Amino acid sequence: MKLIECPRDAMQGWHRSIDTADKVNYLNALLRVGFNTIDFGSFVSPKAIPQMADTREVLSQLDLSATKSRLLAIVANQRGAEEAVVHEEIAYLGYPFSISETFQLRNTNKTIADSLELVDTMQELCIKNSKQLVIYISMGFGNPYGDPYDAAIALEWVEKLVEMDIVTISLADTVGVATPEIITQLFSTLIKAYPVVEFGAHFHSAPHNWEEKVAAAYTEGCRRFDSAIKGIGGCPMAKDELVGNLATERLLEFCLKQHEPLQLDLAALETAQRIADRIFY
């Protein structure tokens, strides 16, 4: 089981500006917990996401000397990717590839066709700089804009990405519309069809229906899940109101029920949770 902790997703749309020192303190606490990956920041326009304007400064102050966690940064264009790949500390670049034309334009100011070309460019940059590209299929389970969507459309875009040798693809429930039925349909098809690809789930979900979504993906073989402590976050570019992230606390409860071995430092996790209580109020 790979647990991807997403403080970047929690912080990016938070209503109050978070000090750089607080971000550094929180991220360093998370690095001691033992998560597989920390989605720590993004190389995007500060005009679009002001909360992430200090990502480079934050990165320079992270203590990676005693952690097994690897860092992931979100990028939205070629310039952001070029800025991110020069940092040795970063292992993964994450790119939100929307299969909703409306949201792709809204989120990255690109059409889906333009975005596909960008993926190719980013993949080359990652290979040259010993990084790995993680593609997030945003609006992967439907969209609120009336853009065409069904499972066949999602599968078609995934196939195109696999043909470009993308080996890590996470299906993102950007606005919390995924149902267990569509989750089951997509993961059951994809995991069988592309055994060399690691498929993940990035669920935005209300507290009352998170478990059915996680269970549907898990049952079909998904073992990579994104979450955020306290369930805070969502995509500020998607809708005016943020749908919360899958809460790390709930995901860990699910893993215990499934007897999934988790090598986490629980004392470090409690420390990180206390810091989160101070930051997110």
**What SS3 state is found at 161?**
helix
**Span 216-244, pLDDT tens digits:** 999 999 999 999 999 998 665 555 455 68
Residue in the structure block whose two tokens are 């999602």: 154
For residues 191, 196, 197, 198, the Cα torsion angle rounded to the nearest 10 degrees is 80
Q: Tell me, what's the pLDDT at 212? A: 96
Q: What's the pLDDT at 206?
A: 76
174 against 275, higher pLDDT? 275
pLDDT of residue 234: 63
User: What is the CATH topology of the domain spanning 2-279?
Assistant: TIM Barrel (3.20.20)
Average pLDDT over residues 140-154: 95
DSSP-based helix, strand, coil % in the chain, nearest 5: 45, 20, 35
Q: Does the pLDDT at position 123 exceed 60? A: yes
Binned at pLDDT 50, 70 and 90, residue 44 comes out as very high
Task: Give 53's Cβ-side CA count (13 Å radius).
Answer: 9
| Per-residue confidence (pLDDT) for residue 242, from 0 to 100 | 53
CB 3 within 8 A of CB 35: yes
Place of tokens 């997703």: 9
| pLDDT tens track for 152-191 | 999 999 999 999 999 999 999 988 899 999 999 999 999 9
Query: How far out from the chain centre does Cα 78 lie?
Result: 19
Name the E strands within 54-111: 70-75, 90-98
Position 140: which residue type? G
The ranges assigned to domains in the chain are: 2-279
- CA–CA dist 25, 109 (Å, integer): 33
The residues facing 90 across adjacent strands are 71
Tokens of 84: 């991110």
